[in-house]
Structure 1
Amino acid sequence: QLSLYEHLVPAYFRILFDSHLENPYAKQIMAEYEELYYLVAKGLAPFEALLNKPIPPNELAYFTIHFGGQLKRKEPMFRTLKALSICPNGISSSLIMNHQLEELFPMIQFNRIHDLKQAKKIDEQEYDMVFSTTYFHTAKKLYLSAPLLNYVEQEMLKRKVFDDFAIEPLNKAVEVSNLIKIIARNATIHHEKELYEALSRSIYGAGLNQLSGGKVLTELLEERFIQFTNEKLEWQEAIALAANPLMKAGYITEHYIASMIDNVHEMGAYIVLAPKTAVPHSRPEDGVKKLGISLLHLENPVDFNLGEEQDEDRQVQLIFVLAAIDSVGHLTALKQLSEILEDEEKIEALIATKDAAAMHQKISQIIEK
């Protein structure tokens, strides 16, 4: 929250007074975090309305990195090592660098510094290592780093730090760095960075960035999870029926369904995200076992007005149930679903569809375009 405040306040005044901020990493952020960038832009619509001005892409790119760091943040752990994070390029670049370092090294406590002179005044006994965007004279281990690293650069930096400080990786799955060590013992590596990238792509696939957003909508919304009904249902019954395929497949528990219904009781019809369309969901810890999406098509609309001022858009005929296991794995699918829900013609086309196979094909055609 504090880091968001640190960025939000100056961003507000920059945009308000047309003080443009150059972001040398904007293109890289928009390319590597495409889905998150899109969703952050959508989420900042109220901030944009407050300013009565569009948020420039450079500013949106900085917000994307901030929120990306929060999505990936895990529970705090005991940190035995201390480090300086030096980035004289500005507060925003410094925030980007610090977010990434904290994600890569949760076992290290970082002290973020903007000024080299200030860093020189800190007693070397106060830290074990230094990460810096520029050379810094120190007797401690120095790691030169760009504020924003790609996947391969992250892995190589982790390998150096883990080796230097005998840190055990938290993830015991296949580690590219371990493969590199084995290869180095048995062969001469001439292009280490290229080898890292080739192995990473082979093991993890093309989407190397952890915030790339995972599977597309039609991978999560399998044909077996699409239902049609001509029953006249209350909204609670409709949510339960829409979620039923996921529960039968072991993706969610009954508690998750109850939690989605409780959320609507507590917060109102916030799940009606577009005309005639609702997207009920709850937190992963409320009973999600596997990432998935289901869809219920209602011949007879379900009333989600809930005693509020009557709105025809809350006569719902499409209910997408989202079951997410974390904050990032569904971002691609959510972006694609958002793009569908922005277009009333696309919504009407889905409502006009009459069977599961045709629905799955229609959604595939829409997102391919």
Structure 2
Amino acid sequence: MADLRTKTARAKLATGKAHAQKLGTGRALVYRRQTEGRSGSWMLRTAKPTGGYAHETLGTADDTSPANGGDCLSYEQALSKAVGQLDADPSKITVADALDDWAEWKCRTATTAKRCTDLRNQARRIGKAFPTTALKTLTARDVTAWMNSIVEAGTNPQARRATANRELAVLKAALTRYADLHNYQGARAWVSVQKFTKADSFGKRMVILTEAEEARLIDAARQDVADLLKALQLTGARCGEIAGAVVSDLEGNRLALTGKTGRRVIVLSPDKAEWFRLKAGNRHPDAPLIPRQDGQAWPDGGHMKPVRTAVKAAGLPEDVTSYALRHGFISRALSRGVPTVAVAQHVGSSVDMIEATYAKFTAAQLAEWFA
């Protein structure tokens, strides 16, 4: 067994490898050494009943910085924290605890602050349905009733079933992870709950407009909203990616976008590049590329109300959102024979998602493309 007690002892261990100190049956304090000059990390490793291990990061080791008992831990502090985790009474674990822990765990690898906020909000939203429910008292009937309540809360059953399915996936992941970490041996009622069938994964957002309808929508919008919609139409990007782009992200015919899948660079045709160049003008490199009418960046969700106004003015169905421009871009690219992998790379998605979402097209789109 590796000696983890001192910095000197840990410095002799192999880099990039997990070195464990057994704490009990199926549980261990793990130290992973980094390259010279970088601090290693402490983790709690717990064996899963179904095989394999669950790992929980405890903090950074005090290899290069003084221990503070918080995010930088000495051996004694890491051991105490690990034992404290193990001593948690499994019978008192609540659904809300598991969801909060899941959100914080996911936040460690979130690419943006917004993504982290979304994860925490989602955990709190689900947790409100089970504010004091313990894992040992949770029943499949409770979970099913909660899913039904999500469907009943909206006017589009197919879309709401998709929402319920996404929330169920998060609930299952959070409860299973927390139960594994704390060696919970009780019944896992959530495992048997099945997702809804016939659920549209995009719900209301899965609307594809004809090019004429897109033009009508853009023409009906006020100028700053029209610019935002036009940018979405030209790139197939997500609204947040365009809203977050700054002038310096545009270099020639390349535009850098940052979104939930990270940062990517897309290639623009000469006409599209010229349109963006005119919008950028001679403004400061850090200025928003497609700003609001006051020159500031679009806040999260700030486009939604003016887009609804434009949708109404254009005489389009009320379930049309800015996402319809992304759907239109992707569906037309596929209809032109652009390889799915190229489309997925351009719009920051996966081949599986593209194929699953756009496998079927409406009669209106087919008529527009092939008639």
Instruction: Give the TM-score of the pair, scaled to structure 2.
Output: 0.27
Question: Bigger relative contact order, structure 1 or 2, given CA contacts below 8 A and separation 6+?
Answer: 1
Given the two structures, how large is their TM-score scaled by the length of structure 1? 0.27
